[in-house]
Structure 1
Amino acid sequence: MSETDSGTAECWEAAADDNGDNVEAASSAVTTTLNVNAPVFIPNVNAPEFVPSFMKDNAGHTQPAAPDPPPESVVTDVKEDSTMVNNDGDIPADSWELAADAATPSPSQETPPSPPTPTTPDGDEDEENECVKKKVVLEDEDQLVKKEPVNVIFIGHVDAGKSTIGGQIMYLTGMVDKRTLEKYEREAKEKNRETWYLSWALDTNLEERDKGKTVEVGRAYFETEQKHFTILDAPGHKSFVPNMIGGACQADLAVLVISARKGEFETGFERGGQTREHVMLAKTAGIKHLIILINKMDDSTVQWSEKRYNECKEKLVPYLKKVGFYSKDITFMPCSGLTGANLRDPIDENVCSWFKGPAFIPYINDLPPLNRNVTGPFMMPIVDRYNDRGTIVMGKVESGGCKKGDNLLVMPNKTMVNIDLLWRDEDEVSAVRCGENVKVKLRGVEEADVAPGFVLCDPSSPCKTGKIFDAQVAILEHKSIICAGYSAVCHMHTVAEEVTVKLLICTVDKKTGERSKVRPRFVKQEQIAIMRFEATGVICMEAFKDYPQLGRFTLRDEGKTIAIGKVLKVVE
């Protein structure tokens, strides 16, 4: 060891010896000055635990001292706020601090000043702000749970601009950031599809992006202060109408997108166009309110012309009434999906001076609440399923609600399953309720044993199943006659099954509603009849009067919708 090192070692040893002498001297001084006649010290067991300012970050891990009321009351108060309980049902360590903050009167309240109590030393104000921020986030999560779920489907002819409007709404509501859209715009430009970039927010499939046609029902969501909206982007091409029917069965509100561009509206609305069929299928699916967005008003052939807007409106109204939409259920709005005009903010008067109505998003936000079967037994038709370290099913809750850990029944297989996990819009939750589009991870069933059209339901009240059922059917469009032995594809909620007419029971008079006493030999277009159907496989269904969403169906043949109907009775 060098001299320098040895000198250093001697220095710190000497310093340690000096400190030891000082400690001994200090302790002897305290002993000589100790007051032996001082009163006995009585600790205050109700005092809050002292936490130094430099340990505030770890304060959440310390156990709070018992306050004057019993600690159970604090836990009870915390449980009232659902956001303060995590997914496992445990209360976070710092929730008692937030409860105490909430109980503290605010400075605005006129309360007498309380006597000073032992508190922590004055620390940085940033730590207090962090606590406030944390509390605000929890309150926001609580508000999220209370928001009304609304499922909106965008329907209409191919190339009307459904996906573009959906993408623009996601951008305007902050669900897609500007950087992502700029990336889409660059990629679209490379493929000479500059105007398609907004639709790529919903058309995630490579084939859909290359061809510019939506194939599967796209899903996205956005929120307002009162409501949580799920966007369902339906395909407009006639080849994918079955996919559109599956999406319409999950919707509460339909948005019919019309292209105002010269020639495009006429093509979509004429016979063979999808505008008519989509409107009729939306009504059959049980959608009561329809918003018609006259899109592409900024096109060079339109230029926000009131004359063109009224022309489209006058042609549509008679057909909408014929299908069953009343005037109070129909709302027309001009818009531009590409520029976002009249979607979130009202149109500038310099652009369109003749329209004085509200913009699209504020309008749907102010619609009255929907009637839900919240108290009924749980029921969820399965739209799709896949395997991701377990069987995961998707669908819309049509009745009741459920929570993690519940035991449910998969019909028609009658397989008992347990809920392992629940998701609402990619966010894991502990419970779901009627009206929400959710994903459920099931334990106790394999993916191969579940198919679209199966129903997840309450074991105490399973849905009915059968192959033979009686139904009232309205024949919309069919060139030939329909008699016993006729076959078609039946689309009921999320199931598509081939059915055969087994028996014609009677016809129903359109005006009076009276049933014929003689069994008809056949029925034809624009007649209403009660028939007995037999399906090739077992279908989950309910009588229309009991569960409307599981009792409606559509009959399709040769790529056309020929009839709509409602289940009257499940025979066997």
Structure 2
Amino acid sequence: MARHRNVRGYNYDEDFEDEDMFGQSVEDDYCISPATAAQFIYSKRDRHSSFTEPLEEEEEEEHNDEELEKQKASNIALSSVDQARLFSCLEHMREVLGETVLEQVMIDAALKCQFDVSKALELVFKQDSNTNTSTEPVSQDLLSTGKPAKGRSRDLTSMEAQNEIVPKIAKMTVSGKKQKMGFNIPSTASEVNGQAVPLSAKSQHMDDIVEESESTVPLPTQINTSQGSDELNAISQVKSSGKSKQKINVKEELEKRQGGKQLLNLVVIGHVDAGKSTLMGHLLYLLGHVNKRTMHKYEQESKKAGKASFAYAWVLDETGEERQRGVTMDVGMTKFETKSKVITLMDAPGHKDFIPNMITGAAQADVATLVVDASRGEFEAGFEAGGQTREHALLVRSLGVTQLAVAVNKMDQVNWQQDRFREVTSKLGHFLKQAGFKDSDVFYVPTSGLSGENLAKCSQIPDLTSWYKGPCLTDQIDSFKAPQRSTDKPFRLCASDVFKDQGSGFCVTGKIEAGYIQTGDRILAMPPNETCTVKGITLHDEAVDWAAAGDQVSLTLTGVDIIKINVGCVFCSQNEPIKACTRFRARVLIFNFDVPITQGFPVIIHYQTVSEPATIRKLVSVLHKSTGEVVKKKPKCLTKGMNAVIELQTQRPVALELYKDFKELGRFMLRYSGSSIAAGVVTEIKD
């Protein structure tokens, strides 16, 4: 027969008559060690006697310590220059000490050493070593103020508990704000703004002050608090003054950073299968940016895939789909250096289906390299109707590129014949002049992407050297003139990619069109009209503190939801934001388009990295091509070759600038049914 306990008659209160313990499970009491229990468990009967009295003594000492109040007040009375020096010194000290030392201790050390970082660190280490070697128990006053407490000593049990708890709270101290651990310690009331409030309410009030100071909101000047709020007031004022960073001299810093080399953004364009990726991949290999081991790997993998001739193209075509199809689909980006330039290379797709991606790359370029196939029949296929050679050249010219290097590729397949080279250059030269390129800004270089002839150094082949005495492709790129950077204008960056990275925040990539940016700056994203903070800046896979106009950067942003940021958003200065509108007027040049353009005609606007559906709302006037005078008002339709003023209506807001203010952000392209029909510049923003 089973045994049964006398459950109904059992008196459970006898086991817990002595003390009512808080924070401890009855069943799991054997799992908690005495040392751990000392931190979190205390008696309900003894809690007033063990915690309240020392806190009352501390508050009395805070009110009576006039010397400490004067020391805190001296921090507030610092000039703006000294506050900036103090903040800079504290940043360096935090990098070494982390959060192991209270901020007020670091401030005192910095002031004593007159903002000398090395001396201040030595002083803190000496104080730390003196504290560690002393055999006296550390009180809460010594940790928070650096001075021993006055008054009677505490009893042994409360001191042991304090020694267990206080260091953990000190380690959690960030910017003078203590995070709550374990339980709330009840205490007597204190005064804030002349009214008696509990200690928990006082700490909440102090937390609010810190949060306001960190968001650069001015602190209230009349706060009748004790020593703790004075300390927070001093630290937060130093922090708020330090956040207004000193402006940098961008031109001087650019020269220092690049070693005197100028920055140049180069886009490679041309008809599909002209050999763009192979040409630039072989160039990077010859310049040492791709090692032999990696190149050997590409050769073996391309042979297995049945595309042995695409080995050099795989340097820039990195995705599996691009390698499988043998066609560049997205803009590949990398960096290389010449004798006097730092080149950001963008390999644009040549296939007709990926013209929008090509426009994205061309909109970020300063100069271009047009690659044409010199083989019999291949050049004609790319240059005549249906090929992309004409369209690519016209697009880059419409997007502001004025300097062009024409790489006449695959010359080895025609045995380096001078007659074929002249035939190709004469046809191209006539068209490029019509497109708006000057003869003095267009250069022709015979090359072979597969064999690497005349790429990184001048070729020694007799068939070529007998008639060509010009530079190789690298030397020709090096001779390009770098454009003037708009570093003195407000900050502008158009997002070309948005992605989530490791850690907090997310990343946005793009080219800085104007101005400059530093880490810690707050910027505005348009058209969502959201503010965010720049947590980090990456330039060519290297973390930097600042970046300027012309740089292709990746920004790590915090303070905004990634869902609100899309490709095409323009990040700008808060003081001088960019305008977002759905209706604007523009001056356009109609390309060779057979369909008449009328009111209500649907188009796709390609602006920087934006592709937005729009409608031609109004045909304002037709202009003279050379003088710009109004020839006809309110025309019924526009045909090829016309120069006109039109009004466009977009479905969603688009961030735009006037062409006269920002040339980089005032250009756009119009496409319809897979064809580029017009190029335009913004003349007036309606709403």
TM-score bracket, normalised by the shorter chain, equals 0.7 to 0.9
Is the aligned partner of 1:190 residue 2:304?
yes
1:269 aligns with 2:383: yes
Match of 2:182 in 1: none
> In the alignment, which of 348, 365, 374 is matched to residue 487 of structure 2?
374
- Letter matched to residue 372 of structure 1: R
Q: Which residue of 1 aligns with 2:288?
A: 174
Q: 5 Å matches for 1:293-308?
A: 293-299=407-413, 302-308=414-420
Residues 1:545 and 1:142: Cα distance change in structure 2 (over 3 Å): closer
Query: How big is the shift at 1:517?
Result: 5.3
| Distance of 2:574 and 2:649 partners within structure 1 | 26
Q: How far has the Cα of 1:143 moved from its partner?
A: 5.0
* Distance in 2, Cα, partners of 1:557 & 1:142: 46
Q: Deviations over 1:332-376 (max 9, x none)?
A: 010111121111111115241211011111222233332111111
Contact 1:260 1:297 in 2 (8 A): yes
| 1:132-170 alpha-carbon deviations (Å, 9 max, x no partner) | xxxxxxx9x955365322111100000101101111121
Q: 1:341 aligns with which of 428, 443, 453?
A: 453
Task: Give TM-score, length-normalised by structure 1.
Answer: 0.74
- Verify the 8 A CA contact 1:468 1:533 in the aligned structure 2: yes
Counterpart secondary structure, 2:577: coil
Query: What is aligned with 2:431?
Result: 319
Question: Deviation digits for residues 287-337 of structure 1, max 9, x if unmatched?
Answer: 1101100001111xx010001100100111111011100101100010111
Residue 446 of structure 1 aligns with an amino acid whose one-letter code is: D
Which residues in structure 2 correspond to 1:430-449 (within 5 Å)?
Answer: 430-449=545-564
Aligned-partner Cα distance in 1 for 2:677–2:553: 32
Unmatched runs of 5 consecutive residues or more in structure 1: 1-75, 80-84, 94-138
8 Å contact kept, 1:292–1:333: yes
Per the alignment, in what secondary structure is the counterpart of residue 532 of structure 2?
A: strand
Aligned amino acid, residue 565 of structure 1: G
Q: How far, CA to CA, are the matches of 1:355 and 1:219 in structure 2?
A: 31
User: Which residue of the other structure, out of 395, 399, 410, is the alignment partner of 1:285?
Assistant: 399
How many Å separate the matches in 2 of 1:347 and 1:86?
57
Query: Would the alpha carbon gap of residues 86 and 333 (structure 1) be closer, same or farther in structure 2, given more than 3 Å must change?
Result: farther
**Offset at 1:92?**
11
SS of equivalent to 1:298? helix
| Alignment partner of 1:363 out of 444, 468, 476 | 476
Query: Does the CA contact (< 8 Å) of 2:417 and 2:463 recur in 1?
Result: no
Residue aligning to 2:444: 332
Deviations 1:358-404 (A, max 9, x none): 11112222333321111111111111111113210010011011111
Amino acid at match of 1:158: V
Q: Where does 1:104-183 land on structure 2 (aligned, <5 Å)?
A: 144=258, 146-183=260-297
Q: 1:219 aligns with which of 297, 322, 333?
A: 333
Give, in whole Å, the separation in 2 of the partners of 1:560 and 1:507.
22
Corresponding residue for residue 40 of structure 1:
none
Q: Distance in 2 between matches of 1:172 and 1:89?
A: 43
For the Cα contact (< 8 Å) 1:87–1:429, is it kept in 2?
no
1:393-472 equivalences under 5 Å are 393-472=508-587
Matched residues in 1 for 2:95 and 2:511: separation?
A: 24
Q: Give, in angstroms, the shift of residue 285 of structure 1.
A: 1.2
For 2:411, what is the secondary structure of its paired residue? coil
Deviations 1:402-433 (A, max 9, x none): 11111111111111111111111111111111
The residue number in structure 2 matching 1:533 is 648
Query: Matches of 1:555 and 1:369 in 2, distance apart?
Result: 28
Instruction: Summarize the alignment of residues 549-564 of structure 1 with structure 2, pairs less than 5 Å apart.
Output: 549-564=664-679
Counterpart Cα distance in 2 of 1:447 and 1:167: 34
2:588 to 469, 473, 477: 473
Matched, 1:234 2:348: yes
Letter of the 2:576 partner, please give it. S
Residues 149 and 88 of structure 1: CA distance in aligned 2, closer, same or farther (over 3 Å): farther
Please give the alpha-carbon distance, in whole angstroms, between the structure 1 residues aligned to 2:518 and 2:625: 45
- Is this contact kept in 1: 2:616–2:649, CA < 8 A? yes
Paired with 2:409 and 2:297, the residues of 1 have a C-alpha distance of 25
Q: In the TM superposition, what is the alpha-carbon distance from 1:219 to its structure 2 partner?
A: 0.9
2:224 aligned residue: none
How far 1:501 sits from its partner (Å)? 1.1
Q: Which amino acid aligns with 1:252?
A: D
Q: How many Å apart are 1:477 and its aligned residue? A: 2.5
Higher helix share: 2
Distance in 2, Cα, partners of 1:208 & 1:89: 47
Q: Distance in 1 between matches of 2:260 and 2:514?
A: 17
The amino acid across from 1:355 in the alignment is Y
Percent identity, aligned pairs only?
38
Alignment match of 2:606 (pick from 477, 484, 491) = 491
Shift of the 92–428 alpha-carbon distance from structure 1 to 2, 3 Å rule, reads: farther
Which amino acid is 1:326 matched to? K
Deviation track 1:205-228 (CA, whole Å, cap 9, x = no partner) reads 011111110001011111124321
Q: Distance in 2 between matches of 1:510 and 1:214?
A: 37
Whole-Å Cα distance in 2 between the matches of residues 511 and 538 of structure 1? 33
**Which among 383, 388, 395 is matched to residue 496 of structure 2?**
383
> Given residue 388 of structure 1, which amino acid in structure 2 is its aligned partner?
D
Separation in 2, partners of 1:143, 1:425: 13
Q: For residue 664 of structure 2, give the secondary structure of its aligned residue in structure 1.
A: helix
Contact 2:623 2:632 in 1 (8 A): no
Which sits farther off after the overlay, 479-488 or 252-261? 479-488
SS in 1 for 2:514: coil
Supply the AA of the counterpart residue of 2:289. M
**1:354 and 2:467 aligned:** yes
CA distance, structure 1, for counterparts of residue 95 and residue 591 of structure 2:
52
Other structure's SS at 2:358 match: helix
User: Match of 1:537, as an amino acid?
Assistant: R
Structure 1 distance, partners of 2:591, 2:481, is 32
Where does 1:501-520 land on structure 2 (aligned, <5 Å)?
A: 501-516=616-631, 518-520=633-635
Letter paired with 1:174:
G
- Tell me which amino acid in the other structure corresponds to 2:297: K
**Matching of residues 41-60 of structure 1 within 5 Å:** none
Highest CA radius of gyration, 1 or 2?
A: 2
AA in 2 matched with 1:282: V
1:19-34 pair list within 5 angstroms: none
Whole-angstrom distance in 1 between the partners of 2:599 and 2:512:
36
SS at match of 1:548: coil
Q: Deviations over 1:270-293 (max 9, x none)?
A: 111000110011111111101100
Amino acid at match of 1:293: A
What is the identity, as a one-letter code, of the residue corresponding to 1:259? D
Asked if the contact 1:391–1:445 (Cα under 8 Å) also holds between the matched residues in 2, the reply is: no
1:504 and 1:268 map into 2 onto residues whose CA distance is: 34
Residues 422-455 of structure 1 show CA distances to partners (whole Å, capped at 9, x for unaligned) of 1111111111111011100001122221111110
**Shift, 1:479, TM fit:** 1.9
What amino acid sits opposite 1:334 in the alignment? P
User: Within 2, Cα distance between the matches of 1:87 and 1:147?
Assistant: 35
CA distance in 2 between counterparts of 1:436 and 1:332 reads 28
Letter in 2 for 1:344: A
Q: Counterpart of 1:518 in structure 2: which amino acid? A: K
Say which SS state the counterpart of residue 567 (structure 1) adopts.
strand
